């Protein structure tokens, strides 16, 4: 049986190649990067002891650097498991949940007709491109120049122009032997309430829409006349084109996101011109839905390209509503390696506006501030609310519980529940204003400390009346790693983290992804950590022992640093980080230190954000914003102090235990 390319593409796109191959191999935990869809294993096609078999979900391909085999889903099953091609197709279709096509002579005929329709679409694309360069296309060319598009960009995206005529395209295609039925099947002509068909697109700049195989399957048209009923008009649904299953610029963006290191993401913006303007500015990994809200199928396409796409929306009311709809769409489907972030543009701006005059830097800044999905949910539900009564608080808690309950993945749902509980605890915790007995709470619109409620109150440079003074951190807290930031001497907590792993490298087998992601403040430890991970990648299995690791680190010039870390830890009597500690103690000490490290970094950055917001509000004379910001800052400072006190208690763990290697359980 012959399968259509459309069917094969559909089932291949629905199934991750790592799911097909993962049933026959064991992924190497050190080299594999699950969030990026990048997997390594020992090759199943030839015997080997080190992993040289590479599989990429985004490309849907595998390759062995040892024996040279390469292929896709179907080739893996036919060559490794000995299945026939139809059997391999059946297996992938079953995994995709797609029924196999019934052997039907008419289907072969339809596939041939689809191929013919693609030829017609290519003819139409060339016609529109040619028309853009004629006298009739002068206004369209002028419009594109005013939008800042270069000739090269226009050619890259194959932009064109449809003349202001009811029959120009129809007559052109008829002259090339194209039947009226084919034109109608492509959505190029229509005959609504009239006996004679006419061109669907008239006096419009034309944007060809490509399939994943880079064939033109539809068009978008931007009206030149301000009186046109619709500013943008897409092709209607056809045999080739299903709007909700297609993203504009999909294939080009996928290539750009893979790049040299495969580390890129995908940015979803709102329109054709946004994608094109970003491409010209050097941001080539942007896509757009086709004139509608993001659909579930389009979201799946994004996740096939990257585990964490950025959804970019205008910062006005309509953009925020669209972002909230997208959040609700994504929430049931998120997984440990699949989520979304949200970038909101300045109010009244779109990506085209940002990059046209100043290049990509302003847009890159917006992307750098993209918020996680959890932040957007929290901002929407809790931002700006008073929640002064128990009933209001209970209602918010119930609403968040209901929203989070739709998450399908059990582990992710549990972590979201915990995250929302922590946010609620921080929001509802009463704080006493300095000099008075009133309770006050600092609410923020987005969890960052900035209050976007209406401005008012005092003149520039003034602080709102009654605003409490900012409490300063204690001397002890000011000396801690939470406040000091980058230090010449590593903080004790960071020294414990680093030395524990060096002395107990077996932890790398169990905690590699988390350990590799540790972000040290100390530049010396950053350098050390890069060396540790590099050495660990070369030492396989039983070779990864402390003696070998330390030997190679000393060869790279880290001997003095290791001695200073050892002395610092022993002076503090934190035995869990030393070589002599039992693995159980070392693992527990590492986990406690890492939890404190993560929380303290989050508090420090939150403090910096709040201080910046207070300075900004003070400069703007925004008295209403200053008071809740100061209260929020007080909460952060108090929590930092509580965290430091908690750390002082936990620091005694190693002393209390005193277990040594081999003594566990005695």
621-657 confidence digits (pLDDT tens) = 777 778 787 877 787 777 766 655 554 444 433 333 4
Lowest mean pLDDT among 98-107, 226-235, 437-446: 437-446
Distance CA 617, CA 627 (A): 10
Q: Is the pLDDT of residue 452 over 50?
A: no
Nearest to residue 189, comparing CAs of 104, 110, 124, 97?
124
Q: Which residues are within 8 A (CB) of 319 and not within 5 positions of it... i.e. 6 or more apart?
A: 270, 313, 344, 345
Q: Give the pLDDT of residue 642.
A: 64
Alpha-carbon distance of 38 to 244, in angstroms, equals 28
pLDDT higher than 50, residue 436: no
DSSP secondary structure letter of residue 576: G
Determine the pLDDT at residue 152.
94
Q: Is the pLDDT of residue 344 over 70?
A: yes
By the 10 Å C-beta count (0-12 exposed, 13-18 middle, 19+ buried), 476 is classed as exposed
Element containing residue 184 per DSSP (H, E): helix 180-185
pLDDT at 170: 94
* Token pair of 139 as six digits: 């206004």
Is 289 within 8 Å of 242 (Cβ atoms)? no
Residue percentage of the chain with pLDDT more than 90: 33
Give the model confidence (pLDDT) of 413-434 as tens digits. 999 999 999 888 888 865 433 3
Question: How much is the pLDDT for 457?
Answer: 35
Strands 53-56 and 286-287: unpaired
Sign of the torsion formed by the C-alpha atoms of 347, 351, 356 and 358? positive
Res. 42: pLDDT tops 60: yes
Cβ contacts of 6 within 8 Å, gap of 6 or more? 111, 114
pLDDT value of residue 624 = 75
Three-state secondary structure of 640-661: HHHHHHHHHHHCCHHHHHCCEC
CATH 3.90.980.10 domain range(s) in the chain: 105-241
CA atoms within 13 A on the CB side of 154: 21
Q: Which residues, 6+ apart, have CB-to-CB distance to 388 below 8 Å? A: none
Rg of the Cα atoms in the chain: 30
Query: Whole-angstrom Cα distance, residue 85 to residue 553?
Result: 51
Say if residues 372 and 338 touch (Cβ distance below 8 Å): no
Q: What is the percentage of the chain residues whose pLDDT exceeds 70?
A: 82
HSE, CB side, 13 Å, CA atoms: give it for residue 258.
15
Of 245-259, 318-332, 530-544, 583-597, minimum mean pLDDT range: 530-544
Instruction: Find how far residue 2's CA is from the centre of its chain.
Output: 38
Q: Which residues pair with 207 in a beta bridge?
A: 220
pLDDT band with cut points at 50, 70 and 90 for residue 609: confident
Q: DSSP per residue over 401-412, as a string?
A: HHHHTT--SHHH
Distances (CA, A) of 329 to 295, 334, 340, 536: 8, 10, 11, 40
Write down the pLDDT at residue 455. 32
Give the whole-angstrom CA distance, residue 587 versus residue 583: 6
Note whether 473 and 436 are within 8 A (CB): no
- What letters, b where the CB count within 10 A reaches 16 and e where it falls short, cover 91-120? bbbebeeeeeeeeeeebeeebeebeebbeb
What is the largest distance, in Å, between two alpha-carbon atoms of the chain? 94
Q: Which residue has the higher pLDDT, 303 or 107?
A: 303
Helix (H, G, I), strand (E, B) or coil at 572: coil
Q: What number is the average pLDDT over the span 316-336?
A: 90
Which pLDDT value is given to residue 431?
Answer: 41
Count other C-beta atoms under 10 Å from residue 156's C-beta.
15
Query: What is the tens place of the pLDDT at every residue in 252-284?
Result: 898 887 654 444 689 999 889 999 999 999 999
Phi, psi values for residue 221, rounded to 5°: -125, 130
Grade residue 476 by pLDDT with cuts at 50, 70 and 90. very low
Whether the predicted pLDDT of 29 surpasses 80: yes
5 vs 223, higher pLDDT: 223
What pLDDT does residue 131 have? 96
The tens digit of pLDDT for each residue in 110-122 reads 666 667 899 999 9
Q: What fold, for 105-241? A: DNA primase DNAg catalytic core, N-terminal domain (3.90.980)
What secondary structure letter does DSSP report for 214? S
Instruction: State which H helix or E strand residue 417 sits in.
Output: helix 410-428
Q: Is 203 left (phi over 0), alpha (psi -120 to 50) or beta?
A: left
Contact criterion met (CB below 8 Å) for 98 and 131? no
Domain at 5-96: CATH code: 3.90.580.10
Tell me which long-range contacts 64-72 makes (C-beta under 8 A, separation of at least 24): 67/43, 69/43, 69/45, 72/12, 72/17
* Residue-averaged pLDDT of the chain: 80
Select the more confidently predicted residue: 529 or 279.
279
What average pLDDT does this structure show over 169-185?
92
Average pLDDT over residues 364-382: 92
The closest alpha carbon to 339, from 385, 383, 370, belongs to 370
């Amino acid at each position: 049986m012959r399968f259509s390319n459309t069917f094969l593409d559909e089932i291949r796109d629905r199934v991750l190649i790592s799911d097909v191959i993962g049933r026959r191999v064991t992924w190497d935990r050190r080299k594999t990067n699950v969030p990026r869809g990048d997997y390594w294993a020992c090759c199943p096609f030839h015997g080997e002891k080190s992993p040289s078999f590479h599989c990429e979900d985004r490309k849907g391909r595998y390759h062995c650097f040892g024996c040279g085999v390469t292929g896709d889903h179907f080739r893996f099953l036919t060559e490794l498991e000995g299945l026939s091609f139809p059997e391999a197709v059946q297996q992938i279709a079953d995994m995709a949940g797609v029924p196999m096509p019934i052997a039907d002579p008419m289907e072969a005929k339809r596939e041939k007709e689809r191929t013919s329709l693609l030829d017609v679409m290519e003819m139409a694309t060339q016609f529109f491109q040619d028309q853009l360069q004629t006298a009739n296309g002068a206004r369209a060319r002028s419009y594109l120049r005013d939008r800042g598009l270069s000739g090269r960009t226009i050619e890259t995206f194959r932009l064109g122009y449809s003349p202001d005529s009811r029959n120009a395209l129809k007559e052109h295609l008829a002259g090339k032997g194209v039947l009226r039925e084919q034109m109608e099947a492509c959505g190029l002509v229509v005959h609504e309430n009239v006996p004679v068909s006419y061109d669907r697109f008239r006096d419009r700049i034309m944007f060809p829409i490509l399939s994943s195989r880079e064939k033109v399957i539809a068009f978008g048209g931007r009206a030149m006349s301000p009186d046109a009923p619709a500013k943008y008009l897409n092709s209607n649904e056809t045999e080739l084109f299903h709007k909700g299953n297609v993203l504009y610029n999909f294939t080009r963006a996928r290539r750009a996101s893979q790049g040299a290191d495969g580390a890129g993401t995908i940015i979803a913006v709102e329109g054709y011109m946004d994608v094109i303007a970003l491409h010209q500015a050097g941001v080539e990994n942007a896509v757009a839905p086709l004139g509608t809200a993001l659909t579930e199928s389009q979201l799946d396409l994004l996740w096939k390209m990257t585990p964490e796409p950025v959804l970019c929306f205008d910062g006005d009311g309509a953009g925020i509503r669209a972002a909230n709809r997208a959040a609700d769409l994504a929430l049931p489907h998120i997984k440990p390696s699949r989520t979304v972030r949200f970038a909101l543009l300045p109010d009244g701006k779109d990506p085209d506006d940002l990059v046209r005059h100043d290049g990509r830097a302003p847009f890159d800044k917006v992307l750098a501030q993209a918020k996680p999905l959890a932040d957007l949910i929290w901002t929407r539900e809790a931002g700006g609310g008073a929640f002064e009564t128990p009933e209001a608080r209970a209602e918010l808690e119930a609403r968040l519980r209901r929203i989070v309950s739709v998450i399908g993945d059990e582990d992710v749902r549990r972590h979201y529940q915990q995250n929302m509980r922590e946010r609620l605890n921080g929001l509802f915790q009463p704080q006493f204003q300095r000099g008075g007995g009133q309770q006050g709470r600092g609410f923020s619109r987005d969890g960052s400390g900035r209050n976007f409620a209406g401005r008012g109150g005092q003149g520039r440079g003034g602080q709102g009346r009654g605003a409490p003074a900012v409490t300063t951190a204690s001397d002890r807290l000011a000396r801690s790693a939470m406040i000091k930031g980058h230090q010449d001497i590593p903080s004790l907590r960071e020294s414990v983290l680093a030395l524990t792993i060096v002395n107990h490298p077996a932890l790398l087998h169990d905690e590699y992804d988390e350990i590799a992601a540790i972000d040290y403040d100390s530049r010396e430890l950053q350098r050390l950590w890069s060396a540790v991970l590099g050495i660990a990648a070369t030492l396989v299995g039983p070779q990864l022992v402390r003696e070998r690791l330390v030997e190679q680190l000393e060869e790279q010039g880290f001997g003095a640093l290791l001695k200073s870390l050892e002395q610092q830890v022993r002076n503090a009597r934190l035995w869990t980080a030393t070589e002599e500690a039992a693995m159980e103690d070392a693992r527990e000490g590492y986990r406690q230190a890492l939890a404190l490290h993560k929380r303290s970094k989050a508090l420090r950055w939150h403090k910096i954000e709040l201080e910046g917001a207070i300075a900004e509000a003070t400069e703007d004379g925004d008295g209403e914003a200053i008071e809740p910001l100061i209260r929020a800052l007080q909460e952060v400072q108090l929590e930092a102090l509580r965290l430091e006190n908690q750390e002082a208690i936990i620091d005694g763990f190693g002393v209390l235990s005193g277990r040594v290697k081999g003594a566990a359980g005695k």
